[in-house]
Amino acid sequence: MSRLYFLVVFIFLGPLTGFFIYATRHHVAFFFLSGALLVNIVLLISFHRRLQKKQSAIALQKEDYFERANMLRAELEHEAEAIASFRHKIISYGHLKDLTEKLSLCLGLEETSNTLCAEVNKLFGHKDITVIMYLFHSSTGGLGITFSQKGQMQVNLKAKKGDVFDQWVVKTMHPLLVEDSNTDFRFDAEKIGGEDARPVRSVISAPLIVGDKTLGILRVDSPLAHHFATDDLRFLRTIADLTSIAVENAQLYQKIEDLAIRDGLTGLFLRRYMLERLNEELNRELRKGQELCFLMLDLDLFKQYNDSFGHIAGDIVLRTVAVILLEHFHEPGDLVCRYGGEEFCVLLPDCPKEEALRLANEVRKKIQGREIVLRRQKTRVTVSIGVASFPGDAKVREELINKADESLYKAKEDGRNKVCCA
């Protein structure tokens, strides 16, 4: 621009200088005309410089306006993202409120698990995700699957005790986010593929913890990579906190329910629960036209064990007999109860009388053959058993129990350690 500027000035001043020299030598009027032209040129140059400065200032101001516009645009985009995030949080908290209300209405563990998995599936809103809940078994302490759902359908998983992701959560007791299992350095991709036929590429998982007690794991996985982000894991952790309380309440309710229908010493069902089940089974057998058998068992000379070894030894005998009965009568539908004191009863649906007699004799021999150590002394116990069938021996519940009880006393009168039938 500077070269062009000087070129223009030279083009104007060169002829003007020659014209000025000619005017001073030949004609005075041309001198004044040349002077006026020179003044105009100087004014034009000055005006041009001012114009350039003004244009530069306008360009700078324009750039400043563009910069401010970009800043405003960025702020608007940020505000829009914040509003969208805030709206998403409001919706999420609304879902959490609904989840809390639904979980508060659940009492049993199965109902709690079903409600939780169904609601979590809705919250993450994708048909291909799988929601899994693992709980630690109170007896074994091992991790076991409680419920799993994909979309609206329950799924049967091969890894019943969890895979490498679940083992990592159990070991660290920290939430887990896996964006892509094929590239995550913490896990072996080949081992993941070999454990389960399901393709798992992204995972979020959170432990279920109440105070210092770990209840299990809540997990959501997807066959798609990068399906979950940090916000999803944060949301799942909030759900896991709510779930932990609901699961603990369900387990406590289950314990209370068990205490209401189970004997605290032997773990067998109580007579009240047996009577309710007996009504149901009698109605069912009546509709099906099948036979049902009822066994009454009584420990022979049990008072002598209490007198000789003490009541604690008597409790040991009762627990031992209860374990034998549970091991022996293990078919679906079989029900073993503590009828009262040293008496037990067994309900055998869909069981002919001949089969019931065979089972009764077998369990009598098992109890007789079991050695029990009481106060460092080896001893054995025997039982007398009475058997009655429905509808052959009795037509109603009370009659069936009385018939079995009469058969039991007949076995006692015949010398004990026997099986008698109505």
Helix, strand, coil abundance in the chain, percent, nearest 5: 60, 20, 25
The identity of residue 211, as a single letter, is G
> Which among 30-44, 108-122, 237-251, 394-408 has the top mean pLDDT?
394-408
Highest mean pLDDT among 55-69, 192-206, 250-264, 338-352: 338-352
Q: Are 20 and 38 in contact (CB under 8 A)?
A: yes
**What would the DSSP string read from start to end of 232-252?**
HHHHHHHHHHHHHHHHHHHHH
Determine the pLDDT at residue 67: 87
How far is CA 23 from each of CA 16, 30, 35, rounded to the nearest angstrom?
10, 5, 10
Task: Between 76 and 87, name the one with better pLDDT.
Answer: 76
Place of tokens 């621009």: 1
- The phi, psi pair for 262, rounded to 5°, reads -120, 150
pLDDT above 70 covers a percentage of the chain that reads: 84
| DSSP, res 206 | E
DSSP conformational letter for 269: E
Q: 114 or 397, which is more confident?
A: 397
Task: Quote the percentage of the chain above a pLDDT of 90.
Answer: 20
Other residues' Cβ atoms within 10 Å of the Cβ of residue 258: 13
Residue 95 φ/ψ, nearest 5 degrees: -65, -40
First to last CA, the chain: 125
**Average pLDDT over all residues of the chain:** 82
Statement: residue 349 has pLDDT above 80:
yes
Q: Provide the 3-class DSSP secondary structure of residue 146.
A: strand
pLDDT class for 343, splitting at 50, 70, 90? very high
- Read off the pLDDT of residues 353-374 as tens digits, 9 standing for 90 and up: 999 999 999 999 999 998 888 7
The average pLDDT across 31-38 equals 67
The helix (run of H) or strand (run of E) holding residue 100 is helix 28-104
pLDDT at 194 over 60: no
In this predicted structure, what is the pLDDT of residue 24?
A: 63
Looking at residues 294-321, what average pLDDT do you find? 85
How does residue 312 score in pLDDT terms, banded at 50, 70 and 90? confident
Q: What is the enclosing helix (H) or strand (E) of 135? A: strand 130-136
- Secondary structure element (H or E) that encloses residue 295, with its range: strand 292-299
Contact 293, 350 (CB under 8 A): no
Residues 6+ apart with CB under 8 A from 200: 163, 165, 181, 192, 221, 222, 223
pLDDT at 336: 93
Name the more confident of 125 and 208: 208
190: confidence class by pLDDT, cuts 50, 70, 90: low
Q: Helices in 105-181 by DSSP H: which ranges? A: 109-124, 164-172
Return the sign of the alpha-carbon dihedral for residues 249, 250, 251, 253: positive
Contact 385, 422 (CB under 8 A): no
Please answer whether residues 164 and 193 qualify as being in contact, where contact means their C-beta atoms are separated by less than 8 angstroms: no
